[in-house]
Structure 1
Amino acid sequence: MATADQVKSLIKAHIEQDDERFKTITLQIAANEARHGHDTFARELKQYAEKIGKGKKNLIRLNNNGNGMFLVTYPSERLSDLVVSSEIQERIERLLIEYRNRHKLQKYGLSNRRKILIEGRPGTGKTFTASVIAAELDLPLYTIQMDKVVTKFMGETSTKLRQIFDNISTSTGVYFFDEFDAIGADRSLDNEVGEARRILNSFLQFIEQDTSDSIIIAATNNQKLLDQALFRRFDDVLHYAMPTSDEVRRLFEIRLGTFDSSFKVSDETIRMASKLSHAEIIRVCDDAIKNSILMNTKIDNVYLLKMLKDRINAYIAKEA
């Protein structure tokens, strides 16, 4: 069933003749119905959604005008699929609770957490976290294509940032700025030129002024590159680390358990996998599943160890 907020948003989108927003909410409702097993109704809603706005010209809708700044998806991942430390999970749960109860907080003059900075090595779950938050809140995920935003022309990047924040204000969703270093680099670094400083100043101004219902998530592989002024603009900063032994075990159980419930990961496999990131471990699991299907064999620790060693040796060779 559509929530009260979704119904109100549908009516508002209809009054404002905002076809793109109307379509987005319809797809949100369809995704929610599909998760509750109402597949036929969900398919019908998606079919209706595809017809919305056809034959009409979309005005100032950045995610559909061909400029490529946004990649719009409707994730289905759940919080239970995210393997992180208990501290990180608690902070994500707090964000979700505050968002769902944001109107209650507003009655007391308080605002919910909605501007998050995630820092961590590649493959530790930053992008996946954005997908989980979008899915848990039944919101579309807008991934900002930074290579399409940052240009060499003076003033153009700031203009594009303004357009993005206009969309953040008018189309509620989770907005994910990946590789955030591209616009958030420390202004005091010697190699930063004047235009880069203007871009960062623009972002600081836009994010501080933003009071929308959207969630903004920025991700970086190295927080040391970021300007210190950024940190006080975000409601929370999450530091992602390489997986612990317990997290490695959970990754194997989640990824392989649904395919082969009898499989038990060995301690040796866990020790070997602890040298890799979450994403690399998942790739090894997927390779094991594909091999099991193609060769008609059971998944075993011998094959997993071989695949893990191959990946680790590849990194050693690259670093050498």
Structure 2
Amino acid sequence: MAAAEQIKSLIKSFGDGDDTRFYATAMQIAAAEARKGHTTLADDIKKLIDNAKTGKNKAGIVRNLPVNAAQKELNDLLELVHPEVRLDQMVLAPGIVASLKRILQEQNKLELIRQHNLQPRKKLLFTGPPGCGKTMSAKALASELSIPLFIIRLDGLISKFMGESIAKLRLIFDAMHQFRAVYLFDEFDSIGTSRTNSNEVGEIKRVLNAFLLQIEKDDSNSLVIAATNLPEHLDPALFRRFDDIISYKLPEEREIRSLYDLRLNELNLIQEFNLDRIARESLGLSYSDISRICEDLAKEVLIFGMSEVSEELFLENIRQRKKPY
């Protein structure tokens, strides 16, 4: 049977709503039973944990929020996403993959790290051009940790009434303590712009000051991710508030070829292409552009009943994607 301390920890974490500690303690009990030779019981416990995580994610978080005016307003600020993409399904530069894996490793050892008066990486800034994997990385982190992703609707955050925006922001940070999730502030430069910018309205400056205060004192188990295409527009005070700053770039030839391999296989466009030439022609495009080129080719096959895609058609799609640039 489980040790008394583990049982007490299990009950306490359940009462506190601390899912991370609850699942970690349950896994410790399963491991202890396995060491005793009780493999069937250990397997049953592990299956129950996996089913509980999946069920909780599918059920959603927002519907469990208390029904009052403040929580209704919070629901209007957050878009709930249940991501299914995994990190190994993405093509990214090796350095970015290593950074994301390090975040996952620390999050999976959250309790151990905090027992030694240390803090895991949880406040993250993603910078880089559009279509290079910032939002997808946030989805992958949520999926790998089996927690939901909340995308903050920044258009609903800024109010014309003084102080109202700050109250809304406080609601979001309060939710981080109540519901462990990944909270993504996409297009963060819309509120994180430099306070020395004379063109910015006073309310945005006040929201930025409030964000700096809230993220500084945040000690929740949630992950906070700010993503921007324009890091040069951010206030300098923001950068030291983040545990990790990950800079995304346009894919190089190796990543482009890997993504073509992946997407063409997924779309059943398996034929002989000179992918080295195609990858070179695609330099300057984003990951998103490359994925859309593959999807466009798949639609050509469906619409026109083509048996295969010519390499010239492939290259023409690349040229069309490059025109806006």
Q: Report the CA distance between 1:268 and its aligned residue.
A: 2.5
- Structure 1 length as normaliser, TM-score? 0.80
Instruction: Measure how far apart 1:150 and its partner are.
Output: 1.5
Match of 1:309 in 2: 319
Q: 2:296 aligns to what?
A: 287
Deviation at 1:58? 2.7
**What aligned pairs does 1:43-192 form with structure 2 within 5 A after superposition?**
45=55, 49=59, 58-59=67-68, 62=71, 67-192=75-200
Report the alpha carbon displacement of residue 61 of structure 1 after superposing the two structures with TM: 7.3
Following superposition, the deviation at residue 196 of structure 1 comes to 2.3
Report SS of the residue matched to 1:84.
coil
Please list the CA deviations of residues 227-258 of structure 1 after superposition, one character each: whole Å capped at 9, or x if unmatched: 11101100010111111001110111111123
Please list the CA deviations of residues 26-59 of structure 1 after superposition, one character each: whole Å capped at 9, or x if unmatched.
xxxxxxxxxx999xx79x9489948x969x9634
Determine helix, strand or coil for the equivalent of 2:220: coil
Residues in 2 aligned to 1:156 and 1:232: alpha-carbon distance in whole angstroms: 26
Report the CA distance shift for 1:67/1:37 in structure 2 as closer, same or farther (over 3 A).
closer
Aligned CA RMSD, in angstroms, stands at 3.2
1:32 aligns with none
Aligned-residue identity in percent:
35
| Structure 2 residue ranges without an equivalent (≥5) | 1-6, 24-45
Are 1:224 and 2:227 counterparts?
no
Trace 1:16-31 onto structure 2 (pairs within 5 A): none
* One-letter amino acid of the structure 2 residue matched with residue 12 of structure 1: G
Unaligned runs of 5+ in 1: 26-35
Q: 1:60 to 1:193 in 2, by over 3 A?
A: closer
1:278 has 2:287 as partner = yes
CA pair 88-60 structure 1, distance change in 2 beyond 3 A? farther
Please state how far the C-alpha of 1:156 moved relative to its aligned partner.
1.4
Whole-angstrom distance in 2 between the partners of 1:8 and 1:213: 18
Q: Distance in 2 between matches of 1:149 and 1:257?
A: 41
Q: Give distance in 1, aligned partners of 2:158 and 2:144.
A: 30
Q: Find the counterpart in structure 2 of residue 298 from structure 1.
A: 308
* 1:11 aligned partner, one-letter code: F
Deviation of the 1:270 alpha carbon = 1.0
Partner of 2:213: 205
Shift of 1:174: 0.3
Which amino acid letter does the alignment assign opposite residue 304 of structure 1? F
Conservation of the 8 A alpha-carbon contact between 2:148 and 2:181: yes
| 2:14 pairs with one of 8, 11, 17 | 11
Contact 1:263 1:299 in 2 (8 A): no
Q: Alpha-carbon deviation of 1:66?
A: 7.6
Q: 1:48 to 1:154 in 2, by over 3 A?
A: closer
Mapped to 2, the partners of 1:260 and 1:237 lie a distance apart of: 37
Task: Please say if residues 172 and 214 of structure 1, whose CA atoms lie closer than 8 Å, have aligned partners that are also in contact.
Answer: yes
* 1:238 counterpart = 2:246: yes
Aligned residues: 286
Q: Distance in 2 between matches of 1:8 and 1:269?
A: 57
Q: Paired residue for 1:267, among 258, 264, 276? A: 276
Report the CA distance between 1:157 and its aligned residue: 1.1
CA distance 1:296–1:215, shift in 2 (3 Å): same
Contact 1:165–1:210 (Cα < 8 Å) also in 2: yes
TM-score for the superposition, normalised by structure 2: 0.79
Letter in 2 for 1:290: K
**For 2:238 and 2:56, how far apart are their aligned partners in 1?**
39
The structural deviation recorded for 1:222 is: 1.1
Partner amino acid for 1:288?
L
